[in-house]
Amino acid sequence: MRPLNRRQFLALGVSSASAVFLASRVTGQSLPPAPNQYVSKDGLLDIALDARYEAVNLAGEQAYLYSYNGQIPAPQLEAKPGDSVRIRFTNNLPQPTNIHYHGLHVPPTGNADNIFLNIPSGETFTYEFTIPDNHPGGTFYYHPHLHGWVAEQVFAGLGGAFIIRGELDAIPEIQAAQEVFLFLKDFDLDANGRVPQPWHMAQMMGREGSLVTANGQVNPTLSIPKGGLLRLRLVNASTSRFYRLALEDHPLYLIATDGIPLSEPVELRELLLTPGERAEILVRGEREPNQYRLLALPYNRGGMGMMGGGMMGRGMMGRGMGSGMMVQSDWESTRNLATLTYAGQVETLPLPQKLIPVETLPEPQRVRRFILNHGMSPGMGMVFLINGRAFDHQRVDTQVSLNTIEDWEITNTGVMDHPFHLHTNPFQVISRNGQPESFRAWKDTVLVRAGETVRFRVRFTDFPGKTVYHCHILDHEDLGMMGTIEMQKSS
Ligand code: C2O
Ligand code: CU
Ligand code: CU
């Protein structure tokens, strides 16, 4: 199982083409540099984070971005079930902000995952919460969440991965795999390296940028030994961009969705990751040494009927044009997100047969319906609505009782796709347009395509208080497609 060194590998008699490729590997980099990692010690993750606006290096160029601690992506946080988390946060941005811990099952109130907090410019706030003892191990995501500012702040660079080390990590086949994090994020920079203000149309579409990065790099190289296993932990940290992922000549073995393990690996040809979604996949080093591209395949997430050539053509909207908007010509193209190479050889590692059981939830006590759509509002232009209403933090839209199970049926009657996200409690998708889902999985964000109805089941147990559900195209959230939920102890 010991990896071969380079001489032993060459002694295997690789073809000259592979030898050339190997030489380039030795001089090149192997893994994309992981962001700085902060791991809990003695049951406590205690770190100082600040949000700031300054010049950073992004994919080899100077860019003026918003960042946590000057890093793109932000420091990677890691804790275990049962750990306490203390984040001493300072807002050095010229505008208010806050932090949301996307997907974590922690209280949505007080100084925990409270997205109603407003931390003004120049102020400090300490977040404190405990990761429950029974919290699943997986890939989570922290990012700003102050309504009205979210898309701007995420698009300018804010966001990082939050890892919980748990049961999945203890499975021997998973432990044997090489772990690589890919934090996917797109940027739009003008000629001076600044993020331009988006056009109104770009906000309505959901702003996208043409600089597509993985861990702040363009097309980084990852390597796998022949026979080895790679565990890719993916976060879609983009404001609006969808990634329809495929790895040339390699099936993807999905092992976790939105931070929660599946019961067993699911083999896929491709995987669509919408904003806010995370996925963990295993890749087997089962091909001949060569270069294989991790691709983002074309995906059209729907428009206003004004896109494409003509007035919104790509010529007007290219990089540096201050648009923040990619058009359908971009959605029709294929992008190379990263490149997988082979280096060395190990005895063939098996895939795990079983992961962590995903329970079947009992029948719901109640069914609720939500309609996603958009409309025109005088003076505001397009607004994005849930059940005909735009977000109002003072209104409670949905009241649920703890210790109940509900089905939520989300119907998208609009013309654009909307990834629907619920805070605090994960759910299981039951059906799409009446068709049962092919495997059981926990999710916190689910794509509801234009014209589609998705039904999911959610259990409310602990954590009373108010939080939100919304479209994770963050411009749509800022433009109103968000509702409040209040979870109450049953009387
Ligand atoms: Cu990732 Cu309410 O958000
Ligand atoms: Cu969230
Ligand atoms: Cu949306």
pLDDT in tens, 316-342: 343 334 455 555 567 889 999 999 999
Q: Please tell me the distance between residue 423's alpha carbon and the centre of ligand 1 in angstroms.
A: 7
CB 303 within 8 A of CB 290: no
Q: Is the CB of 145 under 6 A from ligand 1?
A: yes
What is the Å distance from ligand 2's center to 196 Cα? 26
Average pLDDT over residues 346-364: 97
The pLDDT assigned to 306 comes to 44
Given the CA of residue 115, which atom of ligand 1 is nearest to it? 2
Residue minimizing CA distance to atom 3 of ligand 1: 102
Asked if residue 476 has its Cβ within 6 Å of ligand 1, the reply is: no
pLDDT score at 20: 31
- Evaluate if residue 2 carries a pLDDT over 50: no
Q: Does the pLDDT of residue 369 top 80, yes or no?
A: yes
pLDDT exceeds cutoff 90 at 24: no
- Whether 146 has a pLDDT exceeding 60, the answer reads yes
**Is the dihedral angle over the CA atoms 114, 115, 116, 120 positive or is it negative?**
positive
Position 428, amino acid = Q
Q: What is the pLDDT of residue 310?
A: 33
The pLDDT-based confidence of 311 (bands split at 50, 70, 90) is very low
State residue 331's pLDDT score: 86
> Which atom of ligand 1 lies nearest, measured to the CA of 143?
1
Ligand 1 center to 103 CA (angstroms): 8
Is it the case that residue 355 has pLDDT exceeding 50? yes
Q: Which ligand is nearest to the CA of 113?
A: 2
Average pLDDT over residues 278-296: 97
Ligand number nearest CA of 145 is 1
User: In the predicted model, is pLDDT for residue 11 greater than 90?
Assistant: no
**CB of 147 closer than 6 angstroms to any ligand 1 atom:** no
* Whether the model pTM is above 0.75: yes
Cα of 373 from ligand 3 centre, angstroms: 9
**Stretch 245-272: mean pLDDT, rounded?**
98
Determine the 3-state secondary structure of 200 from DSSP: helix
Compute the average pLDDT of residues 202-231: 96
Ligand that lies nearest to the alpha carbon of residue 159, given by its number in the listed order? 1
Ligand 1 atom showing the smallest separation from residue 468 Cα:
2
State which residues have CB under 5 angstroms from ligand 2, the bound ion: 102, 423
pLDDT at position 329 is: 63
Q: What is the mean pLDDT of the chain?
A: 89
* pLDDT surpassing 90 at residue 200: no
Do 160 and 35 touch, CB atoms closer than 8 A? Answer: yes
* Ligand sitting nearest the alpha carbon of 480: 3
pLDDT over 70 at 243, yes or no = yes
Per-residue HEC secondary structure of 15-81 comes to CHHHHHHHHHHHHCCCCCCCCCEEECECCEEEEEEEEEEEEEEECCEEEEEEEECCECCCCEEEECC
Pick the closest to residue 450 from 367, 374, 369 (CA basis): 374
Question: pLDDT tens digits for 53-76?
Answer: 999 999 999 999 999 999 999 999
Average pLDDT, stretch 306-319? 37
Ligand 2 centre to CA of 102 (Å) is 4
Q: Ligand 1 centroid vs 474 CA: distance in angstroms?
A: 8
- Region 115-139: mean pLDDT is 98
Ligand 1 pocket check for 159: Cβ under 6 Å: no
Q: Which atom of ligand 1 is nearest to the CA of 103?
A: 1
Please say whether the beta carbons of 348 and 335 come within 8 A.
no
Residue 61 near residue 20, CB atoms below 8 Å? no
pLDDT at 376: 82
Tens of pLDDT, residues 64-121: 999 999 999 999 999 999 999 999 999 999 999 999 999 999 999 999 999 999 999 9
* pLDDT for position 377: 78
386 Cα: distance to centroid of ligand 1 (angstroms): 16
